[in-house]
Amino acid sequence: MRRILVDRARQKSTVKHGGTHSRVDIEDLNLADSAPDDRILLVNEALDRLEKEDPEAAQIITMKFFGGLTNQEISESLGISSRTVDRRWNFAKANLFRMLEEEL
């Protein structure tokens, strides 16, 4: 799911930067429409960096953010306690947030 979302965001980003030229009236442009794809790309880049530092934390974020799994489902899948998932999720979320702030 992560790869699909990232590929789609990259494809849209390519189109935005000249892939198919068309004249658009700036008053009709809604910038909020492009924000989610850009955020997905930023999250993906930060997640790649986190994966090098802490692969298990990156896996938990991937399962939760892109897979939509609950902490209980993640703990069963990884064979660790739900409390451990909670702790690692909070740690990973803080690191990911820090990385995203550095990018912006």
Structural domains counted in the chain: 1
Residue 24 lies in a domain: no
Give the range of the structural domain holding residue 73, as residue numbers without chain letter.
2-17+34-103
Residue 23 lies in a domain: no
pTM of the model: 0.61
Residue 62 lies in a domain: yes
Residue 98 lies in a domain: yes
Give, in degrees to the nearest 5, the angle at Cα 88 between 86 and 94.
Answer: 105
Residue 26 lies in a domain: no
Q: Which CATH number do you get for residue 64?
A: 1.10.10.10
Residue 22 lies in a domain: no
Output the 3-class SS for 62-96: HHHHHCCCCHHHHHHHHCCCHHHHHHHHHHHHHHH
Which two tokens mark 55?
A: 């692969």
Report pLDDT digits (tens) over 27-80: 454 544 545 667 778 878 888 998 998 899 889 988 888 788 999 999 999 999
